[in-house]
Every structure is written in structure tokens, then in C-alpha cells.
Amino acid sequence: MKKYSILIFIVSLGALLLFQKEVVMPFVYKVVQSDLFLVESKDQGGQIAISTPLTGLAYKHCNNYIKSKLGPDVSINFPEKPLNAWSLGNYQYVINGEIDITSATASTTARKYVCRITYKNGDNEEGSLDFANWSIEGLSGLDSI
């Protein structure tokens, strides 16, 4: 039996690859093509940066979140508009912004950040001003502060 162990290994590996190609992958393709992951929403995603009322609110909510995380010891200035804002679809947004941070030592530094934020109420935009209806999914670029 030890004499044929390499041959058994190669045949088993080939059978495993053939099973994956003929059975597993066609099933995966059918699941991906189905409506299982389809989300019906008025908000369509895109690869081009946009400026809408909801991206403006998302920017303001990201800024308020940053202010709350940095605390009262740091003075922060935000521009009026983000550098870029993208809609990922289904009321999920990526905001690219820049802030000026003035610390207690009176040194001012400009930092760029990226904030991913989601509006939880979907097509109902009545509560979009309330931060409780938004969730911050991630924030990067301000880790060293």
C-alpha cells in the first residue's frame, strides 16, 4: 500500500478538483445569478463621485462622529463639502473628507479621512437628520490622533 500512496494522492486530488469544477462551481454560479442577494432600493450605487442631499447629511454625520471621538481638547475645522462622496447603493455611502486639527500645543495639521456610513431607514428619508438612523461602518485615516 505504501508503494501506491503517491498515486492515490494524485488520483484523489484530481477527483477533488473535478468535483469542484463540475458540481460546486455550477451551483455557486446559479446562486450568484439568482435574486438571493438582490436588494430593491431607489438608491443606486455608482463609481462616480456624487453630491446629493443624503451624501451631504452623511458627511455631516461623519463629522459629528469624528468630533465626538476626538473630544473637547482638540479644535477641528471641517470644510463645507467633502472631497468626494460615493453611493454604494442601498443607502450606503463612502465619504472622503479633510479636516484641520489644532491640538493644545497650537500645532495645526491637515488630515484626510474616509468614512463609510449607512442610512438605516432605506427609502423613508424622513428621519435622515437624526444620527440614530445612521450607522458608521468604518473610519480610517485618523488612527494616529
- Average pLDDT over all residues of the chain: 84
What residue type is assigned to position 92 of the chain?
Answer: Q
Pairing of strands 92-102, 75-77: antiparallel
Contact between residue 130 and residue 65 where contact means Cβ atoms under 8 Å apart: no
Q: Note the pLDDT tens digit of each residue in 17-76.
A: 999 999 999 999 998 888 777 666 666 667 777 778 888 889 999 988 888 887 777 788
Task: Using a cut of 0.85, tell me whether the model's pTM lies above it.
Answer: no
Q: How far is CA 22 from each of CA 12, 17, 25, 27, 38, rounded to the nearest angstrom?
A: 15, 9, 7, 9, 26
Percent of the chain predicted with pLDDT > 70: 89
More confident residue, 67 or 14: 14
Cα 130 from Cα 125, distance rounded (Å):
10
pLDDT at position 43: 67
Residue 4: the pLDDT is: 84
